[in-house]
Structure 1
């Protein structure tokens, strides 16, 4: 019985770690996309300025 719970806890800990890693990756990707948007806005503003 205890082994079953330990096994489930272990599986949940692995799932949590996977979710943390996925979240970190998505946050980095989001940051990169925000940088690209800023650069595109600057290009458009520059083009529209002239």
Structure 2
């Protein structure tokens, strides 16, 4: 089995793709997941009331 040989253009494209994912896309996904969880908890408390003794 021979190792893959990457051309300089392919390696640069892969690096740019990684940076776009790491710097731009994943932070927005992380914020969206946290905001979505917060929204679900807010809606749950809206219908069930706050936790703790009444």
Same fold per TM (> 0.5)?
A: yes
**Aligned to 1:35, which of 30, 33, 38?**
38
The separation in 1 between residues aligned to 2:28 and 2:16, in whole angstroms, is 17
RMSD: 1.5
Gaps (5+ residues) in structure 2?
1-5, 50-54
The separation in 2 between residues aligned to 1:25 and 1:14, in whole angstroms, is 18
Which has more helix, going by share of residues? 1
Gaps (5+ residues) in structure 1?
none
Instruction: Give the length in aligned residue pairs.
Output: 43
Aligned to 1:23: 26
TM-score (norm 2): 0.67
Greater relative contact order structure (CA < 8 Å, 6+ sep): 2
Displacement over 4 Å in runs of 4+: none
